[in-house]
Amino acid sequence: MALAAVGIYGVMAYAVVQRTREIGIRMALGARPAAVLGMMVGQGAAITGAGIACGIVAAVWTSRWLRALLFGVTAGDRTTFIATSAIFAAVALAASYVPARRATRVDPSVALRAE
């Protein structure tokens, strides 16, 4: 879980650095910080959703082979898949919030001068 949080934080922090000029232009043209925050967290949510979807497909596919190793749950236990997905989604959104919050503090004049 910690590895996933650190990885998503790293990807989002890198995305903020790469999009600093764009964010600066948006802020200079009057974008509200809440809109920039929503844009960046939305990007993190899209990445997270794709990852969770791929993870569920892979888990269902591999659970058939691991059926003999599972004790107390069935191979297609929906509760386990839903709970795990919800926990990972919460961790991922929290990890993407910090760089998104940093993006709202970009000074437009500094972002436009930077290259």
pLDDT tens track for 6-60:
888 888 888 888 888 888 888 888 889 999 889 888 988 998 899 999 999 998 8
Residue 93 token pair: 């959104």
- The domains of the chain are located at 2-113
Query: Hey, how many other C-beta atoms are within 10 angstroms of the C-beta on 90?
Result: 11
CA distance 104 to 40: 9
Check residue 30 and report its DSSP letter: T
pTM: 0.75
Check residue 67 and report its DSSP letter: G
